[in-house]
């Protein structure tokens, strides 16, 4: 758990863009978060840990959408389903894919659970 938090903190400090959304229990629609990352990270638990991912997204534009004109590769470091009170929070940090090597050297990542 500690290493997962460290990865999220590392990503938070290097993010090109962050997307933090929330939904009420039982709802599908996501709204902009009313909490900052620092408050959400305090509520990480074993259930949320199951929804931690590091994804390499190929060919994204600056809005993090697929785009034929501007092709950038980004890292999407995310955790979903963090429960705080009666809401669930999803956190995505988008970083330059060039940081993948640094991420691998700094943290002992393996496929599966970090």
Helices of type H across the chain: 2-14, 37-40, 46-49, 100-106
Task: Report if residue 111 sits inside a domain.
Answer: no
- The count of structural domains within the chain is 1
- Dump pLDDT digits (tens) for 7-60: 999 999 999 889 999 999 888 889 999 999 999 999 999 888 889 999 988 877
Question: Rounded to whole angstroms, how far apart are CA atoms 9 and 87?
Answer: 22
- Report if residue 112 sits inside a domain: no
Q: Does residue 89 have a pLDDT over 90?
A: yes
Residue 113 maps to a domain: no
In a domain, 114, yes or no: no
Handedness of CA 109, 11, 77, 59 (dihedral sign): negative
Which residues span the domain enclosing 74? 2-106
* Residues 35, 14: Cα–Cα separation, whole Å: 19
> What is the per-residue pLDDT across 68-83, written as a single tens digit (0 to 9) for each?
566 678 899 999 999 9
113: pLDDT strictly greater than 50: no
The pTM score is 0.84
Question: How far is it, in rounded angstroms, from Cα 59 to Cα 67?
Answer: 7
């Amino acid at each position: 758990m500690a290493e997962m938090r460290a990865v999220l903190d590392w990503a938070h400090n290097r993010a090109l863009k962050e997307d933090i959304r929330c939904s009420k229990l039982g709802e599908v629609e996501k709204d902009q978060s009313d909490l900052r990352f620092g408050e959400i990270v305090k509520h990480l638990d074993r259930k949320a840990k199951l929804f931690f991912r590091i994804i390499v997204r190929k060919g994204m534009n600056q809005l993090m959408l697929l785009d034929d004109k501007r092709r950038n590769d980004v890292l999407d470091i995310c955790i979903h389903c963090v429960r705080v009170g009666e809401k669930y929070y999803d956190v995505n940090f988008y970083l330059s894919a060039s940081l993948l090597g640094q991420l691998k050297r700094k943290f002992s990542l393996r496929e599966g659970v970090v």
